[in-house]
Structure formats: structure tokens, C-alpha cells
Amino acid sequence: MIMKLGCSFATSLETPEHIRIAEELGYERALCYDSPALYPDVWMELNRAAELTDRIVLGTGVLIPSLRHPMVTASAITTLVHAVGEERVMVGIGSGFTGRMAMGQPPVPWAKVKHYAQTVQALLRGEQVEWEGAIMQVIHPDERFGPVLPISVPWGVAGEGPKGLQVARDLGAELFRISTPEPGYGQQMMMLIGTVLDEGEDPGSERAIDAAGHAAGLYLHWAVEHGMVDELLGEGGKARAAAYDHIPENVRHLAMHDRHVVGVNDIDRPFITGEVMAAAGVALDAQKWRDRFAELKEGGCSFVHFQPAGHDIPRELAAFAAAFNG
């Protein structure tokens, strides 16, 4: 099995240019996060990226059902398909870690995620479907308004637990993971967040923290919001979580998601040290990244997706691609 290289972005106004650079570096896919409280509109930026690229697959990684009516999502997909063709579009969907929690809401129940995905897929086939008690259908008048249906694009599901895994199976979708590959699952992608250290560079260097400190913060946010501080972070995690206690509970999610997945916020910064970065496995030299790639390939991973961050994303993309291809 050949493991392929993709990239994922915390969508920014610079992301289309970064996707262009990623294509030049040999990345095969670029997926963009859908979190409107933090980032610009994912579909607008994907269509901007379409104008700058020729071959890289473009898609959401991942969209959240509660953010858009299924007809709106179907229309967005047809627009991107018109720009680049079905072979260059992928739709990733999830229950909403950042996309929901940054707005103080819990994840969408998995049954609703599945129903939403199936509804959008049916719309793209040109079928009539029932939603909120009424029948709807994509009825673009002619090819001036959208590509001819049916449209069939691959889907991915971000599922870490058994319910998400089952939805991925039920949809016949690629599985997106950030923890470990799922044994025996078919097509699956592993998201990797971090930075490739320069020769002799300390994991706690300012450059490394700028590029990957957000990854160490991510584990805290995930643990707090899923009630798993003790299991995932131990005693040190309790102190980190307690740093947010002074913020009123009804707005605590705003502070916790400040610079989420793009940088280190002021509350997290005292806890993000070289030791923490190394222990989290987010600041590694090229050989250690290659060792990680080998483990993922052995575990059945089909794609690795790198999410760059910091003030020099072109450097991050180039360094990771070099480690992957080295």
C-alpha cells in the first residue's frame, strides 16, 4: 500500500495561496476546517483555491451539519464541482468539535450527522428528499446554474469513537482520525499537527512554539471539553484546566478557543514548554517524523494530512513534505 500526502488548514484568507504552494510541493489533497466563529467561510476559500490550482483535490475537513441547510451545502458542492470537476472534490463531515464548541454548543448527535450526509448525497443525485416536513430537490434550470446531476464525490467522516466509526462505515466513507488508525478499516486518513525541527533545534524554541504550540494546546481543549483531563493529561492537566476557572462558565468556551489550532493563547502559553512539546510528539526532527509515518502506514493509514500553522506556513509545508518524501 502506498500512503499519500495531504494537508489540512485552519481556513484563513491566505489559505488559497497556501494550497497553491502545497500543490507545487506535491501534496495531493487540501481540506479546510469549517468553523465560522474562528475562520472565514470554507466554501468561498475553497473556490478561491480552485482558481489558483490545477490538480490538488479540494474539500472540507470537516463541515458541520448544524451550520448550513443541506440544500445550501449541496449547492456549495455543485459550485466547487463546476470549478474543478468531480475528481477534485471531497466532502468531509463531522459532529463539530471546534465548529460547535467554539460557539458554546455540544457536538451534533451522530444520527443527525448521518441523516444530513445522506440527504445531501441524495440531493446531489438529483432526487427528491423530505426535510423539515417538505419535499425539496436541486432544480438548477440548466448548466448556466450548475453542473448536470447526478454528482458523486467521495466523503470522509471525522470519527474517533464507535458512533462516528459506524457512521463512516454506513456511509462507505473514508475515516478521518487524529488519534490512531482504526485496525481493519479501509481508506483512512490520519491528521498530523506539529512541526519539523531544524537540525539541533530545541522543541521549545520560539519558532517551534509559533508553528506547533497550538497542537499541544489542542489536547488540553479536547480533554477539558470531553471531560477527560485525568485520562489524557494527568496531574499536570488539572493545573492547565484550572487556569480557565476564573472565566465565567457561560463565556469560557470563547477564551478556550482563542487562537484555537492556529496559535497559543495567553492562558495556555505558560504551560507550553519544550518538554510539553516533545511529550506531545508535535515537535520532531525529520527522522522521527519518518518513523511516525512508517507506524501509520503499518497501521493501515492511506493518507497523512499535515496541518501547518504559525507565521511561516510555506516553510512548514515544505519541511513536512521533505520529511515525508525523504
User: Domain extents for the chain?
Assistant: 4-193+285-325, 206-279
- Do 18 and 313 contact (CB within 8 A), yes or no? yes
What is the average pLDDT across 227-233? 66
At 231 the pLDDT is: 63
Q: Which of 69, 94, 235 is nearest to 163 (CA)?
A: 94
Question: What gap in Å lies between CA 30 and CA 305, rounded to an integer?
Answer: 8
Judged against a pLDDT cut of 90, whether residue 218 lies above it is answered with no
Judged against a pLDDT cut of 80, whether residue 46 lies above it is answered with yes
Question: What gap in Å lies between CA 94 and CA 65, rounded to an integer?
Answer: 8
Place of cell 515537535: 283
Judged against a pLDDT cut of 80, whether residue 56 lies above it is answered with yes
Element (H, E) at 130: strand 129-131
At 99 the pLDDT is: 85
pLDDT category of residue 1 using cuts at 50, 70 and 90? confident
Q: Which of 121, 70, 131, 63 is nearest to 95 (CA)?
A: 63
Would you give the distance in Å from CA 169 to the centre of its chain?
19
pLDDT category of residue 236 using cuts at 50, 70 and 90? low
At 321 the pLDDT is: 98
Identify the CATH assignment for 4-193+285-325 out of 3.90.650.10, 3.20.20.30, 3.30.450.20, 3.40.50.300: 3.20.20.30
The torsion defined by the Cα of 162, 120, 80 and 68, in degrees rounded to 10, comes to -80
Judged against a pLDDT cut of 70, whether residue 150 lies above it is answered with yes
At 98 the pLDDT is: 81
Q: Which amino acid is at 76?
A: A
Judged against a pLDDT cut of 70, whether residue 276 lies above it is answered with yes
pLDDT category of residue 223 using cuts at 50, 70 and 90? confident
| More confident: 12 or 179 | 12
At 242 the pLDDT is: 85
At 143 the pLDDT is: 94
- How many residues in the chain? 326
Within a 10 A sphere around the Cβ of 242, how many other Cβ atoms? 10
At 235 the pLDDT is: 63
At 221 the pLDDT is: 74
* Mean pLDDT, all residues of the chain: 94
Within a 10 A sphere around the Cβ of 138, how many other Cβ atoms? 21
Judged against a pLDDT cut of 90, whether residue 260 lies above it is answered with no
The torsion defined by the Cα of 309, 314, 319 and 325, in degrees rounded to 10, comes to 110
Whole-number percent of the chain with pLDDT over 90: 81
Question: What gap in Å lies between CA 312 and CA 45, rounded to an integer?
Answer: 19
Least confident interval from 62-66, 88-92, 224-228, 290-294: 224-228
Before 162, cis peptide (omega within 30)? no
